[in-house]
């Protein structure tokens, strides 16, 4: 696979310096999670849910949708607009009214997947190896780092199980995530990719990425962060040129309308907290791609400089489904 020079990645719509000011990766800043309980998550007898609901039932819905390749981003126990879009996409795909609410029919369809929703996991010595790093806010300081790794074992494990650090802690009260041998309960999200994609569609209005098979059936749905007023999505019919895993990011301020120093350039080394995350899916539109993110909790909630941003795990799954020449249709 050729190496693509990643020079224009869409993180936040306020430019590199504002991005750096808002960029956390730090497990020390874990937002509170709603109260969740393993027994309640495992219970298939769930009541209807809708936007604004929180708790164990929401976690169950998020896990089952994730396993069906309908991703709302992070599993966090909060029913927001991301989950609403994802539920609606699932309902439409199953021939149900696309209400976006978890009604009885939608629960029945999801509960047809009878594999355990949660599973036990023992933290291994490898999980504790790191290197764990503190990511500086300044892009120039980031460029001096040899690797932009996770900030903690908690952040690493949260990403592995598609879950916010806060929800993982709420599911495991009192657990020591920095200790090898610690057993924890995690969402059972391990699945095989759904197949080879014949085309990828990116919707600006829906803030989503969809992958379709050769038979026209929907293979996967991902909530995404897409474009902004200053850097709109480049609507049109493009193709995927290739995939680069663990990309370095070449920051060029000339490509950002809001850069403080238009002459600044920097090379940010690979890592999960690199500005483009763990994978870059290169598009035939120069400087544009579909890529991962260091901030999975922000997916679908902020704008970008024109590229299409997914969680690292969703970007990696999509990358496994495409190949050079796969059509990529970007639409309003």
Beta strands in the chain (DSSP E): 70-71, 118-122, 183-187, 199-203, 208-212, 218-223, 225-226, 236-245, 249-252, 265-268, 279-283, 289-291, 308-309, 327-331
pLDDT above 50: residue 24: no
Integer Cα distance of 80 and 271 in angstroms: 29
Confidence of residue 201 (pLDDT cuts 50, 70, 90): very high
Q: Is 175 exposed, middle or buried (0-12, 13-18, 19+ CB in 10 A)?
A: middle
Closest CA to 45 of 112, 87, 107, 105: 107
Closest CA to 248 of 231, 284, 273, 285: 273
Question: What's residue 5's pLDDT?
Answer: 55
**pTM attached to this predicted model:** 0.89
- What dotted CATH number matches 15-24+193-331? 2.40.440.10
Residues 209, 224 contacting (CB under 8 angstroms): yes
Confidence of residue 4 (pLDDT cuts 50, 70, 90): low
Span 208-220, pLDDT tens digits? 999 999 999 999 9
Question: Of the given ranges (109-113, 184-188, 231-235, 299-303), which has the lowest mean pLDDT?
Answer: 299-303
Helix (H, G, I), strand (E, B) or coil at 171: helix
Closest CA to 82 of 332, 311, 299, 308: 299
Residues 22, 297 contacting (CB under 8 angstroms): no
């Amino acid at each position: 696979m050729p190496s693509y020079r990643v020079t224009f990645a869409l993180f936040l719509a306020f430019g590199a310096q504002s991005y750096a000011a808002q960029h956390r990766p730090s497990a020390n800043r874990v937002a509170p999670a709603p109260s969740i309980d393993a027994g309640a998550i495992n219970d298939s007898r769930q009541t209807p849910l809708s936007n604004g609901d929180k708790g164990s039932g929401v976690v169950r819905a998020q896990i089952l949708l994730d396993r069906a390749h309908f991703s709302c981003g992070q599993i966090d126990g909060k029913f927001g607009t991301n989950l609403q879009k994802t539920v609606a996409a699932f309902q439409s795909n199953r021939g149900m009214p696309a209400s976006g609410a978890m009604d009885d029919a939608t629960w029945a369809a999801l509960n047809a997947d009878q594999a355990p929703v949660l599973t036990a996991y023992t933290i291994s010595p490898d999980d504790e190896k790191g290197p764990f790093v503190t990511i500086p806010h300044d892009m120039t300081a980031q460029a001096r780092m040899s690797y932009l790794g996770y900030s903690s074992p908690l952040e690493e494990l949260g990403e592995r199980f598609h879950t916010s650090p806060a929800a993982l802690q709420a599911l495991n009260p009192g657990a020591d995530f920095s200790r090898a041998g610690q057993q924890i309960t995690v969402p059972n999200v391990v699945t095989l990719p759904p197949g080879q994609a014949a085309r990828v569609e990116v919707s600006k209005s829906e803030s989503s990425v969809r992958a379709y098979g050769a038979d026209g059936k929907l293979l996967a749905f991902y909530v995404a962060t897409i474009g902004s007023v200053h850097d709109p999505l480049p609507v049109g019919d493009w193709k995927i040129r290739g995939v680069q895993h663990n990309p370095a990011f070449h920051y060029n301020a000339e490509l950002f309308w809001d850069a403080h120093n238009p002459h600044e350039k920097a090379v940010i080394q690979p890592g999960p907290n690199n500005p483009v995350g763990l994978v870059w899916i290169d598009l035939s539109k120069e400087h544009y791609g579909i890529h991962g993110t260091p901030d999975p909790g922000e997916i679908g909630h902020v704008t970008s400089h024109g590229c299409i941003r997914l969680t690292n795990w969703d970007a990696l799954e999509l990358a496994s489904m495409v190949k050079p020449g796969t059509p990529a249709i970007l639409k309003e």
